[in-house]
Amino acid sequence: MAHRLVDKLSGFDSPQQRQQSQKMVIFGTIFLLTTLLILYSSNSGNESYNPRNGYRYTVHTTNLKAWANQDGYVAVYGNKTMNLHCKQCALVTSSSHILGSNVGDDIDQAECVIRMNDAPTTGFEKDVGNRSTIRVVAHSSVYRIIRRPSEFLNKTPDPVLIFWGPPTKISKDAKGTLFRLIQKVSMAFTNLSTFIIAPKKMRQFDDLFHKETGRDREKSRSWLSTGWFTMVIAIEMCDSIHVYGMVPPYYCSRRPQPKRIPYHYYEPRGPDECTTYIQNERGRRGNHHRFITEKQVFARWAKHYNITFSNPKW
Ligand SMILES: *[C@@H]1O[C@H](CO)[C@@H](O)[C@H](O)[C@H]1NC(C)=O
Ligand SMILES: *[C@@H]1O[C@H](CO)[C@@H](O)[C@H](O)[C@H]1NC(C)=O
Ligand SMILES: *[C@@H]1O[C@H](CO)[C@@H](O)[C@H](O)[C@H]1NC(C)=O
Ligand SMILES: *[C@@H]1O[C@H](CO)[C@@H](O)[C@H](O)[C@H]1NC(C)=O
Ligand SMILES: *[C@@H]1O[C@H](CO)[C@@H](O)[C@H](O)[C@H]1NC(C)=O
């Protein structure tokens, strides 16, 4: 085929035409090579885009139980070490799917109850329970936690707070306002155990995301969500996890569209959940979370570890 094309191009033409044809062939070759190069480089994260199934990638599943290491968490005050182990955990998400569920008592029966950021229990006990053993908090939520000590700092006997954030903002060495604030709080509420995810471990969280999704967190201009940190920490410390209020990965692309519900159960006037997920997933600039991509990974982890999802069940 290619031979015939070259024959045709060079066969009966005048020298001028032949020169032009050769130019075209050269241009064509350069174009083809460039295209291949672009395709190749966009492929370098072991991912390729398929319009039907979205991103497909070679998965490198990490054994999160072996991945866990205690020195990944730095105690803010005192000489506490993070050596929590729970047989059975309830991971309560902040989604409004939990409203009206009446599962508060079930949640409280779990050995450890894990919550995120400033999700309150007061006023929502019937649906979310009233115990909080572990709370995973984003650097951006620190102020909201500290503003309400009676809700977040001394409500339950011995709560554990784990803070995550960019090491430049939150680590001990950064000596920034955020670290000093967390330190002050840890000294004032001695029953509290506060930890900050160590810089080294923060990088491991990024690497984990890259390995599991084929996408580089920084290059794809996104942030890991508190949900990502919380799920990994839960897998590290819990033999079994019951997740309350998390939708499956493709929930928001269902037709007909799911009904609109607030993103957070405690912010009834807040943004719609699916709108938030989809906008974040598509966002190409700025501080986006890949909520849907993360859930695809969670769905895979659920096959390796003892994780069940309810409200909705999947
Ligand atoms: C792609 O996967 C291979 C293993 O299959 C790995 O060695 C390589 O580092 C990966 N490439 C990238 C860019 O992640
Ligand atoms: C560390 O904690 C242990 C047990 O809680 C205590 O016995 C020990 O004195 C502490 N060490 C320091 C340096 O505070
Ligand atoms: C909350 O705490 C109280 C007292 O500890 C307990 O009696 C109650 O059953 C708990 N659960 C709910 C869902 O309110
Ligand atoms: C702090 O812990 C002690 C001992 O575990 C307990 O008796 C006390 O009630 C706790 N204080 C608060 C405010 O929870
Ligand atoms: C998973 O956890 C549940 C609740 O703790 C337990 O009943 C069940 O036996 C576990 N399943 C496996 C396969 O370990």
What are the pLDDT digits (tens) for 47-82? 444 444 445 555 666 778 877 676 789 899 877 777
pLDDT category at 299 given cuts 50, 70, 90 is very high
Going from the Cα of 102 to the center of ligand 3, the distance in angstroms, rounded, reads 13
- Atom of ligand 3 at shortest distance to CA of 107? 13
Q: Is 59 a member of any domain?
A: no
178 contact partners, CB below 8 Å, separation of at least 6 = 139, 142, 165, 169, 170
Quick one: 209 exposed, middle or buried, by C-beta within 10 A (0-12, 13-18, 19+)? buried
159 contact partners, CB below 8 Å, separation of at least 6 = 132, 133, 134, 135, 152, 153, 191, 192, 193
* Of 88, 240, 301, 303, best ligand 5 pocket probe by most atoms within 8 Å of the beta carbon: 240
Quick one: 234 exposed, middle or buried, by C-beta within 10 A (0-12, 13-18, 19+)? buried
Q: Note whether 144 and 291 are same-domain residues.
A: yes
* Rounded average pLDDT over 232-252: 93
Instruction: Output DSSP code: residue 45.
Output: T
Evaluate: CB of 306 within 6 angstroms of ligand 5. yes
Which pLDDT does position 53 carry in this prediction?
47
Kindly tell me the sign of the dihedral angle through the C-alpha atoms of 67, 68, 69, 71. positive
Q: Note whether 29 and 151 are same-domain residues.
A: no
Residue 310 β-bridge partners? 244
* Rounded average pLDDT over 3-28: 62
Q: Note whether 293 and 219 are same-domain residues.
A: yes
Evaluate: CB of 58 within 6 angstroms of ligand 1. yes
Report the CATH number at residue 302.
3.90.1480.20
Bigger pLDDT: 228 vs 287: 228
Q: Note whether 12 and 89 are same-domain residues.
A: no
Bigger pLDDT: 68 vs 233: 233
Going from the Cα of 75 to the center of ligand 2, the distance in angstroms, rounded, reads 13
Residue 114 has pLDDT above 80, yes or no: yes
Q: Note whether 19 and 90 are same-domain residues.
A: no
Supply the range of the domain harboring residue 38.
2-43
Bigger pLDDT: 293 vs 194: 194
Q: Note whether 124 and 249 are same-domain residues.
A: yes
Which pLDDT does position 213 carry in this prediction?
80
Q: Is 283 a member of any domain?
A: yes
Q: Note whether 230 and 100 are same-domain residues.
A: yes
Q: Note whether 262 and 115 are same-domain residues.
A: yes
Q: Is 52 a member of any domain?
A: no
Q: Is 146 a member of any domain?
A: yes
106 contact partners, CB below 8 Å, separation of at least 6 = 90, 129
* Rounded average pLDDT over 109-128: 96
Q: Is 295 a member of any domain?
A: yes
Which pLDDT does position 257 carry in this prediction?
86
Evaluate: CB of 258 within 6 angstroms of ligand 1. no
Q: Note whether 131 and 39 are same-domain residues.
A: no
Which has the minimum average pLDDT: 63-72, 105-114, 166-175, 266-275? 63-72
Q: Is 60 a member of any domain?
A: no
Which pLDDT does position 52 carry in this prediction?
45
pLDDT category at 152 given cuts 50, 70, 90 is very high
Q: Is 50 a member of any domain?
A: no
Residue 168, Cα to own-chain centre: how many angstroms? Answer: 20
Residue 44 has pLDDT above 70, yes or no: no
Going from the Cα of 157 to the center of ligand 4, the distance in angstroms, rounded, reads 5
Q: Note whether 34 and 165 are same-domain residues.
A: no
Q: Note whether 98 and 146 are same-domain residues.
A: yes
Evaluate: CB of 191 within 6 angstroms of ligand 4. yes
Residue 43 has pLDDT above 50, yes or no: no
Question: Distance (Å, rounded) from C-alpha 4 to C-alpha 10?
Answer: 10
Q: Is 58 a member of any domain?
A: no
pLDDT category at 10 given cuts 50, 70, 90 is very low
* Mean predicted lDDT score pLDDT of the chain: 82
Q: Note whether 300 and 245 are same-domain residues.
A: yes
243 contact partners, CB below 8 Å, separation of at least 6 = 91, 93, 231, 307, 308, 309, 310
Which pLDDT does position 125 carry in this prediction?
97
Which has the minimum average pLDDT: 57-61, 112-116, 182-186? 57-61
Which 3 state secondary structure label does DSSP give 265?
A: coil
Evaluate: CB of 216 within 6 angstroms of ligand 3. no
Domains in the chain: how many in total? 2
Q: How many CB atoms are closer than 10 A to CB 81?
A: 11
Bigger pLDDT: 30 vs 95: 95
